[in-house]
């Protein structure tokens, strides 16, 4: 009997990589999708015939219960969220509904439909915000700096609370930034690599960015979804930081990305105040020691390799 998994957020970056991984592990994979006026399954187009899509929305408890009753999963990966930090200041209520309360809705559905379902919660390094220690690990106190970060702290603690209250197998993965050629265009890595491709092709002449000094621990999304899966294969549920242990600035990102295309980034990048945030997270760097020790997880793609992979993919995409 193959195992069944339900992924919320299957149309997103991580959902697409996780679906590939689970199909490769022999799972029957279902993906919860919300109604939108334009159907956009681009990231899962290549595996769409192998995934069962079920309707549902994080804002609608009944639809999540119905999806669980329908799929009868052994594992639920809750990846759906309003995930763009900037948008969380423009839409703080919606971000709270989806990214915070949405977690309770999924956990409640699991508890009611089948409490033996194993649950993964997509928590975030944004919870560390104004960091209390360097590097950040599973015991580092949280100090979120955006409505998104605050919502993720709620999601993290409600996951732990449901584990402790109802004995659910529920894990929270505190994942640091992870990127890929499938990353949304608004996030800084993809904004830079897609712009490099357009500038190289003569379609654009400049790239406007915000804070070039911000530092992030950037890894490859394909590596990070394996950590999610490993968390649900253990004897006891636990929470894990998933990171590379290295940190780099937006400036370094620009240097490598433009350099890959034979361009000098200083000739094209313009700092634009419109992209500064009301409160910034200056520095993130995680310790993946617990994930390495207990899950046997290590990242396989280094920062420069990741950026170059994304630039190459964006150049190839434009060429096609
Ligand atoms: P993403 O590309 O933005 O994907 C988000 C997914 O959530 C999309 O499939 C989206 O569906 C879905 N979604 C949004 N609102 C929904 C709603 N109300 N009901 C149902 N589905 C909804 O995000 P990602 O980068 O793959 O990240 C996956 C998860 O990990 C998110 O929870 C994110 O906050 C978290 N996370 C990400 C990172 C990272 O660096 N990528 C790090 C830590 C944590 P549509 O296609 O319909 O919009
Ligand atoms: O920003 C700076 C910006 O939007 C990274 C999400 O997946 O990872 C992501 O959140 C840094 C910030 O990602 C621009 O100020 C400069 O310091 O790529 P980002 P994020 O905010 O770190 C975490 C772990 C998540 O959980 C989130 O879901 O880059 N930056 N100039 C810029 N950022 C953007 N987007 N655009 C700029 O022009």
Q: Is the pTM of this model over 0.95?
A: yes
pLDDT value for 34: 98
**Mean pLDDT across the stretch 142-159?**
99
Please check whether residues 110 and 76 belong to one and the same domain.
yes
What's the CA dihedral at 161, 162, 165, 169 to 10 degrees?
A: -120
Q: Assess whether 208 and 232 both reside in one domain.
A: no
Distance 110 CA to ligand 1 centre (A): 19
Instruction: Return the CATH number at 189.
Output: 3.90.25.10
Locate the DSSP E strands across 145-245.
169-175, 178-179, 207-209, 215-216, 219-220, 240-242
Q: What total of structural domains would you count in the chain? A: 2
- Write out pLDDT tens, residues 199-211: 999 999 999 999 9
Would 295 be classed as within a structural domain? Answer: no
Residues 137 and 255 grouped into a single domain: no
pLDDT at 288: 98
What is the number of the ligand 2 atom nearest to the C-alpha of 146?
A: 21
Ligand nearest to the CA of 228: 1
Looking at the structure, tell me whether residues 56 and 198 fall in a common domain: no
Residue 26's SS3 state is coil
* CA 100 from centre of chain: 15
Is the same domain home to 84 and 213?
Answer: no
User: Is the residue at 293 inside a domain?
Assistant: no
- Whole-number CA gyration radius for the chain: 19
**148 is a catalytic site residue:** yes
Residues 152 and 28 in one domain: yes
Query: How does residue 23 score in pLDDT terms, banded at 50, 70 and 90?
Result: very high
**Catalytic-residue membership of 249:** no
Say how many Å lie between the CA of residue 180 and the centre of ligand 1: 14
Please report, rounded to a whole number, the percentage of residues in the chain having pLDDT higher than 90. Answer: 100
Residue 309, in any domain of the structure: yes
**Is the same domain home to 258 and 161?**
no
- 149 and 207 share one domain: no
237-287 pLDDT, tens digit each = 999 999 999 999 999 999 999 999 999 999 999 999 999 999 999 999 999
Cα 182 to ligand 1 centre (Å): 12
Catalytic residue of the set 126, 172, 194, 255: 126
Both 226 and 270 in one domain: the answer is no
Calculate the average pLDDT of the chain: 98
Q: Do 51 and 95 fall into the same domain?
A: yes
CATH code of the domain covering residue 47: 3.40.50.720
- 3 state DSSP class of 186: coil
Provide the domain limits for residue 195.
184-217+247-284+301-319
Report residues whose beta carbon is within 6 angstroms of any ligand 1 atom. 8-9, 11-15, 34, 36, 40, 57-59, 79-83, 98, 122, 124, 175, 177-178, 184
192 and 146 housed in the same domain:
no
Q: Does one domain contain both 126 and 237?
A: yes
pLDDT single digits (tens) 44-97:
999 999 999 999 999 999 999 999 999 999 999 999 999 999 999 999 999 999
The confidence score (pLDDT) of residue 250 equals 99
pLDDT single digits (tens) 126-150 = 999 999 999 999 999 999 999 999 9
> What are the residues facing 299 on neighbouring strands?
none
126 is catalytic: yes
């Amino acid at each position: 009997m193959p195992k069944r998994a339900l992924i919320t957020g299957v149309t997103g970056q991580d959902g697409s990589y996780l679906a590939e991984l689970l199909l490769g592990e022999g799972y029957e994979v279902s993906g919860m999708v919300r109604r939108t006026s334009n159907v956009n399954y681009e990231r899962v187009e290549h595996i769409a015939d192998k995934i069962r899509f079920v309707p549902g929305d994080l804002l609608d408890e009944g639809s999540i219960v119905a999806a669980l009753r329908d799929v009868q999963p052994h594992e639920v990966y809750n990846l759906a969220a309003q995930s763009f930090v900037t948008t969380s200041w423009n839409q703080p209520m919606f971000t709270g509904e989806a990214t915070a309360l949405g977690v309770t809705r999924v956990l409640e559905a699991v508890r009611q439909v089948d409490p033996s379902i194993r649950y993964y919660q997509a928590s975030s390094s944004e919870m560390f915000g104004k960091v209390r220690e360097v590097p950040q690990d599973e015991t580092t106190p949280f100090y979120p700096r955006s409505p998104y970060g605050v919502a993720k702290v709620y999601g993290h603690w409600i996951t732990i609370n449901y584990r402790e209250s109802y004995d659910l197998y529920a894990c929270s993965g505190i994942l640091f930034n992870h990127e890929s050629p499938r990353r949304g265009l608004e996030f800084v890595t993809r904004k830079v690599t897609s712009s490099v491709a357009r500038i190289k092709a003569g379609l654009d002449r400049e790239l406007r960015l915000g804070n070039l000094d911000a530092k992030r621990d950037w890894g490859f999304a394909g590596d990070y979804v394996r950590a999610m899966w490993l968390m649900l294969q253990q004897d006891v549920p636990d929470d894990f930081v998933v990171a590379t242990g290295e940190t780099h600035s937006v400036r370094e990102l620009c240097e490598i990305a433009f350099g890959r295309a034979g361009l000098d980034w200083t000739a094209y990048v313009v700092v634009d105040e419109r992209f500064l945030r009301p409160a910034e997270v200056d520095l993130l760097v995680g310790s993946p020691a617990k994930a390495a020790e207990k899950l046997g997880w290590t990242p396989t793609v280094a920062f420069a390799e990741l950026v170059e992979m994304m630039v190459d993919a964006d150049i190839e995409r434009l060429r096609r």
